[in-house]
Structure 1
Amino acid sequence: MHRTRHLLLRTLSALALLVTGCTDGDAPPDEGSSESSGAPLGLAPVEATMLVHIYYQTPETLERLAAELDLLEHADHAEGYVAALIEPDEYERLVAEGLTVEVQQEPTSILQRMLDAGGFRSIPSYSCYRTVEETVDTMTTLDSNYSGLVELVDIGDSWDKVTAGGPDGYDLQGMVITNEAIAGPKPRFFLMGAIHAREYATAEIVIRFAEQLVEGYGTDPDATWLLDHYELHVLPQANPDGRKIAEQGYTQRKNRNTSAGSCSYPPTSSSQHGIDLNRNHSFEFGGAGTSTTACSINYRGTGANSEPETQALQSYMSSIFADQRGSGSGDPAPDDTTGLMISLHSYGELVLFPWSWSGSAAPNLAQLRTLGRKLGYHNDYAVCQWYGCLYPASGTTDDWAYGELGIAAYTMEMGTTFFQSCASFESTVAPVNLAALTTAFKAARRPYQTPSGPDAVGVAVSASPVTAGASVTLTATADDTRFDSNGWGTEPTQAVAAARYSVDHASWTGAPLTAMAASDGTFNASSEGLTATIDTSGWAPGRYLLLVEARDAAGNWGAPSGVFLDVEAAGGMVEVCGNSLDDDGDT
């Protein structure tokens, strides 16, 4: 019941927000009201794109709908409906087939009014989102301003870039972000956005996450240790050709491949040029949830990995991640697999993990679910398998990354609309998902092990700066309960059993480790206060990074969290070029 109500309320809220981008905080209309109940069966709908609930009786029907229509990331299996954008001719066809199609009157009416008035045809109406060009400019600036942390990387080319006779197209511009002064190899996290062009928020979250880490280096303890010890690889705009169309306010989903079909332009929800890049990957290509009709929203292309964008993605991920899974469909990746990939989508408020092509369990199901529930703790999204909580989809990016390479791979459906208002994006979507992505990055070294362990939170020191030789109290909380599937199962938790800290270097680098004690004297609860006394005698003046991590009773060490400790010379004396200066600058 909790899961059903959770999904239903989110669906209604999302439908009310789909096209307005300006109704943040409005409550969804009551079930059964004139706003939510929609047109009764047989009543002619408005002559425009409609947002509807389609009720289905069998999984086979849902599978067929997923291949034929522009289904949204809302499917309530308990109620037996899926949300979709459809055109009037599709409405008539579905009704003629005997399906119950419930028009969501209010969002459909708003959409029609906006289009009648000229609609929104420019992304400047959404000032919180950068265009393709602005995103590239930001990356260029970061590379210039943080040359020791940022390296630009050309991942590949867009369809227009490799096709003569049309627009110039784009490079798939990415970045590698790490402290280049510290040698690798380092664990890697690949974060990508906007493979579906109309999903504005996704590219912006990718670039903001990169900015947050780079700008926080040296001042934010977690950003600092993560970039010292890990690598972040980002591709904010995975479908730049399609995104330029979507920036005009159109619901363009696919890339801009115009080589097949006589499709609509401007694009509609039922007819648009291009290939759905998230149905074009070579792992389980051509299966359920894809279309062979060129203008369809889910058109998979003429063959597996046919598009330059998917070719670039597969080639790049293969170059940065080792293949760590066997060739058999039931072969799990080893527990110590390293590497993580997340593809950001909108909307739907979901954390999805493989498989999407099949309802069978992925070999690493339990571990994928555990990390997913760590992310769900932060963004309050439903955490579930693609196929089980939505509908089938074959040839997806996350299935390819997990299926071919064995790395932990996820699709995160953020927010409540394609054109998320800046107010709700800034207040909700960005903060909760940036927090989730930080947790994901921390797990990238051992995504199938680390998330099971306790989180170290609230790490603090009793004073900073301190004079060398002073004692400092280090405190934190070890919490083994920070999981939330939001209605899709419960994660087992254990008592905290141990904790430790290291200085400047992570535990797995061979750094000296010092045990911490339970604040109440005994490790016996799933959330424990931690404490340690640090004697700074002999410490040279400077800034130190203290990293705290904890282990649960099942033997799982969680990810570290850090705090800075600044140490000053005794008497305020600082040594400069062999001379000691006091606070007044006198020798």
Structure 2
Amino acid sequence: MNYLRPFQLVLTMLGLIMAVLLWVPSISAAPENNADYFVVRLYYESMAEVQQIADGGYDIWANERSARYLVVAVNGPQYQQLTAAGWPMTIDAERTAALEMIPDTSGRQSTFFGGYRTVDDLYSDLATLNAAHPTLTELVDYGDSYCKLQAGCTTLGGEQQAGYDLYAIRVTNEAISGTSTIADGVITQGSKPVFFLMANIHSREITTPELAMNMLDWLLDGYGQNADATWLVDWHELWIIPTANPDGHWLVELGTKPPYNSIPFYHRKNANRVGCDQWPPQSSYHYGVDLNRNHSFGWGGSGTSADPCSAIYRGAAAASEPEVVALQNLITAVIPDQRGPDLSDAAPDDTSGLFITLHSYGDLVLWPWGNTTTAAPNKAGLQAIGDHLASFNGYTSCQPSYCLYSASGTSDDWAYGVLGVPAFTFEVGNQFMPPFSQVAGVQWPQNGPALQYAARIARAPYTEVFGPDVVSLAVTSTSPMVTVTAVVDDIQSGNLPISATVFAVDTPYWAGGTEMTATAVDGVFDEPQETVAITLPTAVYGPGRQTVFIRAQDTTGYWGPTHAIFVDLTEDTTQHAYIPVVHNP
């Protein structure tokens, strides 16, 4: 920027006055936890100005697009730099105060900041779940963290950090063919569609491991109880990483322990100390490499920094960090490469697999490309999936350069760019560290259905997203025959008339199950939303629990994702005459 607009001068003077009033500690004084930095609202007129801030290495928390300001964490020198450059700013008093807010721990025995799990808690819970479900789960050590490879790290405060194994958990019914094999640390790819969910690559985003664990619990607790959870575990592979940055998470936890005894450190990066001596961590200025700027695809471009203390430090080279190398190796081992080598190559329509990385915050569903304004070759499919996911959680679906800022070397750009799978970033909620109760009370109810939908379309995401979804299923009659009623809906997928709805009993179509035609309750398929009915005579299917798999097609020919329901048929001794079921040609 080379000039100051008149309204900028006014806002800048107000910002300086507020800064003098609110920013009491000396910038050269030894900080006491987070006391020497604060949060500002930085006003902008265009996305080009947003990118100037991102490329400057500043710690952007959110982009409030409707009000046209960025939420940025700064220390004193950074505030002075921005002021000298003419950026209009005001102090965000509420967010600044939250930097020192101690949570209420009365609702749950506190393990960490009011109930959040530590890395040790997460790993203990993973081990417990793995032991409880020996035929459904496999706990996979896929590498070592930076500190473990260094035989331990020492913080600038003198604390010893041993480092961690990196853990993922695979969820699938191992008895069903197509499962990947794991032997002597080597993963051999299977043929089941893969849903890959990772969290906490930015360590201060402490709600995200909890959401990943919620998804894991939904799958395992629902197995045998919830028909969708059951068929997903049977027929898909679901890989979940609750924390991709355990060293960083440990540093976040450290802020709550002696001698600091305050709130968690706002540490975003891993524990690589090379080139930065800032201690304790400030949100906008601390050591480590930003693992979500270190991936090998598109590394070193916009939205990154060469300053080792910057919140968005990209590292010395692409994939320089062991956490990133191990993550890329794992994903490549379980998801096939389905896209050509050129940037303009589109992944084929029948691509299988889907990747989601959980971040906070901003209420966004982001899709590639993140490092440029150029449209991805599969933009239509990526946007359609993003929009559909956002219909569940109420977020904004967008390409980052148009709604947040451009960033390079990210995990979702890498997953799509290298493998061709649709890849998304969820920016969850409106805080990094909200009260723990928000996870179960707000964030999981919003995002659980979106994650479950994403898992359901993983077989053919680029096509199934354009087909109708089954939005409700219920058993509406049990005598003399069981009747299942379903609502199929194309409103979110194209708003076209439903052309057909089919169902299979016990065996889904992809495993050779026979699909039969369901009937429109109003007698004809001609609307974007239809209610359909299915009858299941006990004499044909026999008594016992049956799984009914349902999917629908619209007039473009796209089939939507499968939905399922359990139906318990009881023995019927009454004589009935049944009309034969007409099979689809």
TM exceeds 0.5? yes
Look up the SS of the partner of 2:535 in the other structure: strand
Give 1:124 shift.
3.3
CA distance in 2 between partners of 1:125 and 1:299 (Å): 27
Q: TM-score, normalised by structure 2?
A: 0.85
1:165 Cα deviation after fit: 4.5
Q: Does the Cα contact within 8 Å between 2:482 and 2:569 map onto a contact in 1?
A: no
For 1:38 and 1:375, the matched residues in 2 are separated by 39
Following superposition, the deviation at residue 324 of structure 1 comes to 0.6
For 1:240, the equivalent position in structure 2 comes to 246
After superposition, the Cα gap between the structure-2 partners of 1:39 and 1:348, relative to the gap in structure 1 and judged at 3 Å, is farther
SS at match of 1:156: strand
Question: 1:309-339: per-residue Cα shift (whole Å, max 9, x none)?
Answer: 0001110111111111111111110011001
Aligned AA (1:179):
N
Q: State how 1:183-582 maps to structure 2 within 5 Å.
A: 183-184=177-178, 185-247=191-253, 248=255, 249-258=264-273, 260-463=274-477, 470-481=480-491, 483=492, 492-570=494-572
Change (3 A) 1:63 1:519: same
Q: What is the 5 A alignment of 1:149-160?
A: 149-160=136-147
SS in 1 for 2:272: coil
Verify the 8 A CA contact 1:38 1:105 in the aligned structure 2: no
Distance 1:97 1:72, change over 3 A: closer
Instruction: Report the Cα offset of residue 77 of structure 1.
Output: 5.2
**Per-residue deviation, 1:501:** 0.6
Cα distance in 2 for residues equivalent to 1:91 and 1:338 = 47
CA apart distance, 1:387: 1.3
Shift of 1:544: 0.8
Alpha-carbon distance, 1:547 to partner: 1.0
Relative to structure 1, the CA distance from residue 76 to residue 417 in structure 2 (aligned partners, 3 Å threshold; closer, same or farther) is closer
Amino acid of the structure 2 residue aligned with 1:393: A
Deviation (angstroms), 1:169: 0.6
Shift of 1:534: 2.1
Q: How far did 1:530 drift? A: 0.5
CA displacement 1:502-546 (0-9 Å, x = unmatched): 011222222111101111111111110001222221434321100
Change (3 A) 1:38 1:446: farther
Specify the code of the residue in structure 2 equivalent to 1:132.
V
What is the rounded CA distance, in whole Å, between the counterparts of 2:473 and 2:527 in structure 1? 18
Rounded Cα–Cα distance in structure 1 between residues aligned with 2:382 and 2:293: 21
Q: How far apart are residue 347 of structure 1 and its match? A: 0.9
The Cα shift of 1:61 comes to 3.7
Q: Matches of 2:413 and 2:295 in 1, distance apart?
A: 9
Residue 448 of structure 1 aligns to a residue whose secondary structure is: helix
Give ranges in structure 2 of 5+ residues lacking alignment: 1-10, 24-35, 104-108, 154-160, 179-190, 256-263, 575-585
CA RMSD of aligned residues (A): 2.2
- The separation in 1 between residues aligned to 2:502 and 2:47, in whole angstroms, is 50
- What is the alpha-carbon distance in structure 1 between the residues aligned to residue 500 and residue 573 of structure 2? 37
Q: Secondary structure at the match of 1:172?
A: strand
Superposed CA deviations along residues 408-459 of structure 1, whole A, max 9, x for unmatched, are 1000001110002123222111111111100010011111011111111221
Displacement of 1:218: 0.5
Query: Who is 2:27 aligned against?
Result: none
Q: TM-score, normalised by structure 1?
A: 0.84
Letter in 1 for 2:377: P
Structure 1 residues 198-237: Cα deviation after superposition (integer angstroms, max 9, x where no partner): 0011011111101111111011011011111111001111
CA distance in 2, matches of 1:383, 1:38: 32
Instruction: Check conservation: 1:478, 1:529, Cα contact below 8 A.
Output: yes
In structure 2, relative to structure 1, the CA distance for the partners of 1:128 and 1:439 (3 Å cut) is: farther
Q: 1:263 Cα shift? A: 2.5
- Preserved contact between residue 75 and residue 81 of structure 1 (Cα < 8 Å): yes
Structure 1 alignment gaps of length 5 or more: 1-36, 116-121, 484-490, 573-587
Rounded Cα–Cα distance in structure 2 between residues aligned with 1:61 and 1:123? 42
| 1:378–1:558 distance in 2 versus 1, CA, 3 Å | same
**Pairs within 5 Å for 1:104-143:** 104-111=92-99, 124=111, 126-143=113-130
Q: How far 1:52 moved relative to its partner?
A: 1.1
Deviation at 1:175, TM superposition (A): 0.6
Residues of 1 paired with 2:415 and 2:119: CA distance?
25
Q: Deviations over 1:123-173 (max 9, x none)?
A: 735444211111111111111111111111112111001013522211111
Residues 506, 547 of structure 1: 8 Å contact kept? yes
Distance of 1:239 and 1:426 partners within structure 2: 23
